[in-house]
């Protein structure tokens, strides 16, 4: 198979700040928005961009994620001229080699890329929420003759020290890079989205593999080294919705952003044109909202059974909210149950857990909490 561009989705992170949600599940497989998983977004973006060769690089607690990705049928990648490959760390004669960093993950799969023989390689994170196509970014990369094009997102200046920051000239050429700077020179944060000309990428990775001092990371090693070597690096500014859901609070906020009455709300579900987000159809029964139920400003997925009250909530399938139970400003994940008289505020209710009868979750409103069983706060 030969293609113009191949995509590599880095989906092996632990996501430890999501606490119990990622204890046994890889972060990209975590539920989002009532019916999706986080990995649906980069895969759908690739499908909508007409990219037909995609590698998904998994590592930590990957069983559920590997099964979910499967042969890529959910996103239309199981055709004669399209493919998704789940790429795990290799076991060789020297033993098992876990991915040591983002660059090492790609290095270990150069043989897969060589078989694809792309002209360009798109590298993505598997744990960001955004809906777009990559066509305009690729066109800019080709037109500029860049060795690498990096997508950047203008963040508030107060948040810039949390990110890798890129400094550009008037033409968009990257002239400097700061890794989580105390005094940022720019507010253009790297999104961790790269398009490389494959010959340049391959050469850079082979050199990096031979460097014993390298951490084998794109942000820390590959990009700074390319700048030292005066390679042409361009920035592509993205202005749409984008969220890194690395914490319980940010995952909760990203769900709340789907409610259009919320400040900064965004309708990622019904993007006009061809930018649809594809996911698994669980063939659940229709949602049921009882005669005494009260549902306000909420997303409720198919298969949910609502007899109590919801206010500003995102509810997944197979959820049961019994009569007399209530939830306010909550994300209620698949299979969860709120028993009669239960009350939940400002919380994420983890999959398959039960909030006991008359139990209160986060009654003291101590920020956003994750409830994964046991007594509530």
Please report whether residue 182 resides in a domain: yes
342 contacts 356 by C-beta, under 8 angstroms: yes
Q: Are 250 and 301 part of one and the same domain? A: no
Strands 95-96 and 91-92, by their bridges, are antiparallel
Q: Are 209 and 311 part of one and the same domain? A: no
Most confident of 98-112, 271-285, 313-327: 313-327
202 pLDDT band (50/70/90 cuts)? very high
Q: Are 21 and 164 part of one and the same domain? A: yes
Which of 233, 256, 279 is the last residue in one of the domains?
256
Instruction: Please give the C-alpha separations between residue 200 and each of 68, 136, 165, 176, in angstroms, as whole numbers.
Output: 33, 21, 22, 19
Domain that holds residue 318: 288-371
Which of 3, 116, 11, 15 shows the shortest CA–CA distance to 56?
A: 11
Q: Which residue has the higher pLDDT, 122 or 2?
A: 122
Tens-digit pLDDT profile for residues 216-226: 999 889 999 99
Tens-digit pLDDT profile for residues 12-48: 877 788 889 998 889 999 999 999 999 999 999 999 9
Q: Are 55 and 142 part of one and the same domain? A: yes
Q: What's the average model confidence in pLDDT over 341-368?
A: 95
pTM of the model: 0.91
298 pLDDT band (50/70/90 cuts)? very high
Q: Are 292 and 248 part of one and the same domain? A: no
Q: Are 218 and 305 part of one and the same domain? A: no
Residues 6+ apart with CB under 8 A from 146: 140, 197, 232, 233, 234
Please report whether residue 270 resides in a domain: no
Q: Are 143 and 195 part of one and the same domain? A: yes
Q: Are 238 and 358 part of one and the same domain? A: no
Which of 256, 278, 296 is the last residue in one of the domains?
256
Taking 70 as the threshold, does the pLDDT of residue 8 lie above it?
A: yes
Please report whether residue 120 resides in a domain: yes
| Per-residue confidence (pLDDT) for residue 262, from 0 to 100 | 66
Q: Are 252 and 294 part of one and the same domain? A: no
| Per-residue confidence (pLDDT) for residue 308, from 0 to 100 | 97
Q: CA-CA distance, 348 to 109, in Å (whole number)?
A: 36
Please report whether residue 363 resides in a domain: yes
How many structural domains does the chain have? 2
Please report whether residue 317 resides in a domain: yes
Could you tell me the CATH number of the domain that includes residue 304?
Answer: 2.160.10.10
Please report whether residue 269 resides in a domain: no
310: left (phi > 0), else alpha (psi -120 to 50), else beta? beta
Please report whether residue 26 resides in a domain: yes
* pLDDT > 90: percent of the chain: 68
When the pLDDT of each residue in the chain is averaged and rounded to a whole number, the result is 90
Could you tell me the CATH number of the domain that includes residue 124?
Answer: 3.90.550.10
Tens-digit pLDDT profile for residues 71-121: 898 998 887 778 899 998 876 655 557 888 899 999 999 999 999 999 999
Most confident of 60-69, 89-98, 235-244, 345-354: 345-354
Instruction: Please give the C-alpha separations between residue 317 and each of 107, 202, 299, 303, 352, in angstroms, as whole numbers.
Output: 39, 44, 11, 5, 11
Q: CA-CA distance, 289 to 235, in Å (whole number)?
A: 48
343 pLDDT band (50/70/90 cuts)? very high
Please report whether residue 169 resides in a domain: yes
Q: What's the average model confidence in pLDDT over 175-203?
A: 93
Structure-derived torsion over alpha carbons of residues 15, 21, 26, 32, reported in degrees to the nearest 10? -100
Q: Are 330 and 186 part of one and the same domain? A: no
Instruction: Please give the C-alpha separations between residue 311 and each of 90, 325, 349, in angstroms, as whole numbers.
Output: 48, 12, 15
Q: Are 293 and 252 part of one and the same domain? A: no
Q: Are 252 and 326 part of one and the same domain? A: no
């Amino acid at each position: 198979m030969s293609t113009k561009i191949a995509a590599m989705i880095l989906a092996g992170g632990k996501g430890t700040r999501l606490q119990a949600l990622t204890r046994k599940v890889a972060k990209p497989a975590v539920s989002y928005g009532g019916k999706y998983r986080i990995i649906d977004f980069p895969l759908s973006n690739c499908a909508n961009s007409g990219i037909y060769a995609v590698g998904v690089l998994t590592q930590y607690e990957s069983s559920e994620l590997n099964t979910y990705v499967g042969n890529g049928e959910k996103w239309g990648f199981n055709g004669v001229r399209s493919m998704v490959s789940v790429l795990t760390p290799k076991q060789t004669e020297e033993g098992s080699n876990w991915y040591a960093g983002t660059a090492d993950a790609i290095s270990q799969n150069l043989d897969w890329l060589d078989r694809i023989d792309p002209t360009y390689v798109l590298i993505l994170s598997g744990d960001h929420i955004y809906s777009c196509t990559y066509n305009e970014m690729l066109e800019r990369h080709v037109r500029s003759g860049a060795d690498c094009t990096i997508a950047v997102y203008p963040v508030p200046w107060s948040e810039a020290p949390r990110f890798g920051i890129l400094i550009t000239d008037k033409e968009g050429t990257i002239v400097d890079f700061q890794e989580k700077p105390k005094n940022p020179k720019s507010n253009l944060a790297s999104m961790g989205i790269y398009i490389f000309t494959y010959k340049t990428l391959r050469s850079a990775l082979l050199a990096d593999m031979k460097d014993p001092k390298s951490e084998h990371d794109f942000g820390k090693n590959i990009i700074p080294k390319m700048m030292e070597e005066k390679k042409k690096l361009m920035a592509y500014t993205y202005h749409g919705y984008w969220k890194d859901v690395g914490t319980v609070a940010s995952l909760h906020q990203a769900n709340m952003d789907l409610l259009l009455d919320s400040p900064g709300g965004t309708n990622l579900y019904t993007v006009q044109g061809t930018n649809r987000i594809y996911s698994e159809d669980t063939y659940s029964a229709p949602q049921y909202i009882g005669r005494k139920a009260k549902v306000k400003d909420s997303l409720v997925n198919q298969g949910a059974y609502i007899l109590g009250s919801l206010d500003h909530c995102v509810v997944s399938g197979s959820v049961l909210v019994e009569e007399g139970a209530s939830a306010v400003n909550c994300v209620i994940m698949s299979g969860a149950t709120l028993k009669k008289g239960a009350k939940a505020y400002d919380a994420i209710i983890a999959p398959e857990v039960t909030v006991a009868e008359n139990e209160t979750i986060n009654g003291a409103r101590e920020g956003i909490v994750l409830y994964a069983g046991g007594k509530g706060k």
